[in-house]
Structure 1
Amino acid sequence: MKMKYIKLTVVIILLVQVVACTDNILDKSPVSSFSAEGFYKTKSDAQAGVYGIYNAAQSVFRVDFAYWGEGRADNVQTDQSGEGLILMQNNLSESASSADWSALYRMISRANYAIKYIPDVYKDDPSGGAQLVGQAKALRALAYFYLVRVWGDVPLITEPYTSTAQDIFVTKTDKEQVLDQIEQDLTYAATNCVEKFNNEKDRIMVTQGTANALLTEVYMWRHKYSEAVASSQLVLNNPLYSLVSSMDDWGKIFTDGYSKESIFEVGYNDEQTNLLRVLYALGSYAIYTPSEKFKASYESGDRRIPYVYDTTLSDPKAIWKFLGKGVNDEDPSKSHQDIVLIRLADIMLLRAEALAQLGGVENINEALNLLNKIRTRAGLPAFNTEQEAADKYGDLESAILHERSVELCFEGHRWFDLVRTGRAISTMQPLNGLSDEGNLVWPISTNVLNKNPNMEQNDYYK
């Protein structure tokens, strides 16, 4: 039977009760008679503890991957009220649901317990323990990477709460220090995680390839282009990953999951569902539909677009990409498709961008080659020279960013791409008045502020 995601056991439920108390600051567990140290006794316990982190990731990304990565950008529009409209109009406040980071810190809390206690369980098998710790560190890094990109400076917590001597009323840490920790965690994971599991876990659990791909994302966020070139080369050399060739297979990346192009997916199934249908295809209009700007942005003959939305409608009511071409927008059934967070085309285009930034004839030629592999798969003509790309989109970097917008549309990348490349204000100001660098981060939720007297609201929202 195809494994859509890891089934949690009763022992996991016990662990969750210990390390996931949502009423506490940043999901730190209170000291109790049943401690996490008492839980981590066997190797099965250790594996269960890591599964618990993946379970937390399901809750984190089931809807917020789109709110954080698409909701404030230019590829979507909405006719609905609520969170989607708030983000699109840039009317963020501390009451916005996407402003609450609690689920991310729940994920981090579970990772911290695993990182602390798994080595004791694996004293007779250090490498086995290290690969589990590597997964936990990579998942912690993933959570912190979203925290930094969404809120900027955030509390950095790398130890579980095991003593009343520890201060639960934490303060913010400079985002660059958090990013340093992210790099450390991912470097450890890239060394100690398994190369592959030889089954579907290769797509929904962390491998060395996952860690190197996420490192590439982090390096590009920090404009470390040489480092991004090095880490992305490891991903491109990894035999687990290759581009799908046909458009039908391209569509199945999102509807079926587990494709050879996929690097990391958050797995769901009929019991563990997400809100993809609500986001993209439910009711007279989904929360998000393709914006007029997006529909005008792609080139004629692009074979991807009929898999993204109904091109026969001037005002499409749904985004098909994750849910399938021709999806019935009146079907209220819950969505179980995986959310693809990282795939090979994403890393190839980041590598192309890094090479373009570094410059030089050899780098520019490779950047063009990578860009053209994505373009020609979609039925678009290749750019033979850098000047051809510049004639079409202004410069090579803009051509690559445009390709990311179309290839990765609605996958949760567009807002971060705009912020990372310094284009958020110029792109969004004509649409919603965005004008202040301080407004690029989210406000901190009232729920967080009320629980922690030491937590300060982000400056723009004070």
Structure 2
Amino acid sequence: MKRSIKYIFGSVLILFASACSDSFLDKEPISNFSGQGFYKKPSDAQAGVNGIYNSMQSLFRLNFAYWGEGRADNVLTRHSGDPFALQQNALTPIINSARWDNFYTLISRANYAIKYTPQVFGDGESELKKQLLGQSRALRGITYFYLVRIWGQVPLVTEPYESVEQDVFVSRNTEAEVLAQVEEDLLFAVANAASSYSGARNRVLVTKGVAYAFLTQLYMWQKQYDKAIAAAEKVLADGQYSLVSMNDWNEIFVKGQSTESIFEVGYNEVQTNALRALYALGSDSDYVPSARFIASIEVGDLRKPRIYDITEVQPRKIWKFFGQGFKDESPDPSSNNIVLTRLADIILLKAEAHARLNQPTEALELLNRIRRRAGIAVLDEAAANNLYGTLVATVLHERSIELCFEGHRWFDLVRSGTAIATMKPINGLSSEDNLVWPLHESATLRNLNLKQNEFYK
């Protein structure tokens, strides 16, 4: 028995990280090492943190769209597998998007970095030590935030596994316990991460602005609207972020690292993602715009022809991530960065928070910034209520269009309490217990302390 436990630990203790280089995205092949034996000098700590970012590339390369869009109303699919299961609300414990392995690989790497980075720098103050710890804590917090939104209760692991005395058969923690750790990690990053970095690293490494942006998302999820407004104000006051012009809207995703971007998962020709398979392969892509989404776009919206080919009755691909008129249907992986959060996201979250606090003047000013750029009429409260019923619903509609296919829509439906009303006519969703994913059978078979989510028992 002890031997088998050691084997489990041996699997968990493998830590992957990239060698240091001048550019974060210019990585050497991945190497394996034990945390205890590897962290000896500052460059090792940097390599360990690079390994956390490397995990993010694997984690989000495909599933960001499955988790954030696949179960919502803006997409249509003809594909089998996860795309069809998610759209039909036919989730089972064997679908690939129910796996959380990559989440806990990232968390393991972060836990090693958090424990060992201080040791290689000694007792003295070091700006690099603070920045590396800030990045590690933020990345762990962001990861747990996704875990809670997808599965609900999840195991909270904050120490690296280094001894057979540690309990590997962990149970699930409450959502409140995990989200408290998320907040603690992000607040630590606010205090310790760098304000900015030079060159191309500035949108793919964690900064204070990234931490504030995810705090805004966290507080909106928790319905702590005053806190969400305060965090969003920190982002809006940061001079390095500004909305791009409508002419450059697609460039946010095609080229990446725009002034509007806050945090992107960085990719290149070596570390690639599945954006093309998700959205660009003509009649064979995972997702195309649904008829419901197309009908929801207001007349004259300048974003519409930048999202898909408006000359097609049923658009065959999504142009948003590749540029207006994109025709290349190569099945090759994509090197585009994946934008996890940008300024328009935070502006609209702040607008929603004001609307929920019955502060229409502030909400409308922010909402109309986005509408004005899109070339559609600015609204007063009466016009918003006439169009969409309430000011909150108006902001949520604007998020649906502005942030379409970026991985926000499902989470917006869940946190706003509109998922069942929206999806029941489409796929029969009717139970609050059905809003989370099932735990993959590989997790529940390995660890009998993990109890399946109630709806999927």
The CA distance in 2 between the partners of 1:43 and 1:330, in whole Å, is 44
Q: Is residue 374 of structure 1 aligned with residue 393 of structure 2?
A: no
Matched with 1:181 is 181
| Contact 1:318 1:329 survives alignment (8 Å) | no
The CA distance in 1 between the partners of 2:348 and 2:327, in whole Å, is 32
Shift of 1:283: 4.7
Shift of 1:196: 0.6
Q: Give the 3-state SS of the residue equivalent to 1:200 in structure 2.
A: helix
CA spacing shift, 1:239–1:53, aligned 2, 3 Å: same
Shift of 1:131: 1.4
User: What is the TM-score when the length of structure 1 is the normalising length?
Assistant: 0.92
The CA distance in 2 between the partners of 1:330 and 1:41, in whole Å, is 47
CA spacing shift, 1:59–1:138, aligned 2, 3 Å: same
Q: Is residue 450 of structure 1 aligned with residue 445 of structure 2?
A: yes
Matched with 1:394 is 389
Shift of 1:284: 2.5
Write the letter of the residue equivalent to 2:61: R
| Contact 2:134 2:193 survives alignment (8 Å) | yes
Write the letter of the residue equivalent to 2:347: M
The CA distance in 2 between the partners of 1:386 and 1:135, in whole Å, is 41
Q: How many residues align?
A: 435
Matched with 1:42 is 41
| Contact 2:98 2:440 survives alignment (8 Å) | yes
Q: Give the 3-state SS of the residue equivalent to 1:284 in structure 2.
A: helix
Matched with 2:8 is none
The CA distance in 2 between the partners of 1:159 and 1:5, in whole Å, is 26
| Contact 2:23 2:201 survives alignment (8 Å) | no
The CA distance in 1 between the partners of 2:345 and 2:23, in whole Å, is 23
Unaligned runs of 5+ in 1: 19-34
Q: How does 1:253-264 map to 2 (within 5 A)?
A: 253-264=252-263
Write the letter of the residue equivalent to 1:8: K
Deviations 1:376-423 (A, max 9, x none): 10000101x211111111010000000000000000000000000000
Deviations 1:54-77 (A, max 9, x none): 000000000100000000000000
Q: How does 1:9-158 map to 2 (within 5 A)?
A: 9=28, 13-14=30-31, 17-18=32-33, 35-123=34-122, 124-158=124-158
Q: How does 1:51-450 map to 2 (within 5 A)?
A: 51-123=50-122, 124-245=124-245, 247-328=246-327, 330-359=329-358, 363-383=359-379, 385-450=380-445
Unaligned runs of 5+ in 2: 1-21
Matched with 1:6 is 25
| Contact 1:193 1:208 survives alignment (8 Å) | yes
Deviations 1:193-236 (A, max 9, x none): 00011322110000000000000000000000000010000000
| Contact 1:63 1:274 survives alignment (8 Å) | yes
Write the letter of the residue equivalent to 2:176: E
Shift of 1:5: 4.9
Shift of 1:357: 1.1
The CA distance in 2 between the partners of 1:128 and 1:268, in whole Å, is 24
User: RMSD in angstroms over aligned alpha carbons?
Assistant: 1.2
The CA distance in 1 between the partners of 2:248 and 2:120, in whole Å, is 42
The CA distance in 2 between the partners of 1:9 and 1:430, in whole Å, is 49
Deviations 1:322-379 (A, max 9, x none): 12222225322221100000000000000001111112xxx32111010000001000
The CA distance in 1 between the partners of 2:85 and 2:426, in whole Å, is 13
Write the letter of the residue equivalent to 1:76: V
Write the letter of the residue equivalent to 1:172: R
Deviations 1:139-198 (A, max 9, x none): 001110110000000000000001110010101000110000000000000110000113
| Contact 2:250 2:322 survives alignment (8 Å) | no
Write the letter of the residue equivalent to 2:237: N
Write the letter of the residue equivalent to 1:286: S
Shift of 1:454: 1.4
The CA distance in 2 between the partners of 1:38 and 1:168, in whole Å, is 21
Q: Give the 3-state SS of the residue equivalent to 1:205 in structure 2.
A: coil
The CA distance in 1 between the partners of 2:332 and 2:156, in whole Å, is 39
Deviations 1:38-64 (A, max 9, x none): 211111000000000000000000010
Stretch moving more, 306-315 or 327-336? 327-336
Which runs of at least 4 in structure 1 moved beyond 4 Å after TM superposition? none
The CA distance in 2 between the partners of 1:98 and 1:379, in whole Å, is 37
Stretch moving more, 363-372 or 419-428? 363-372
Write the letter of the residue equivalent to 1:289: V
Deviations 1:94-143 (A, max 9, x none): 00100000001101110000000001112233432121111001000111
CA spacing shift, 1:232–1:419, aligned 2, 3 Å: same
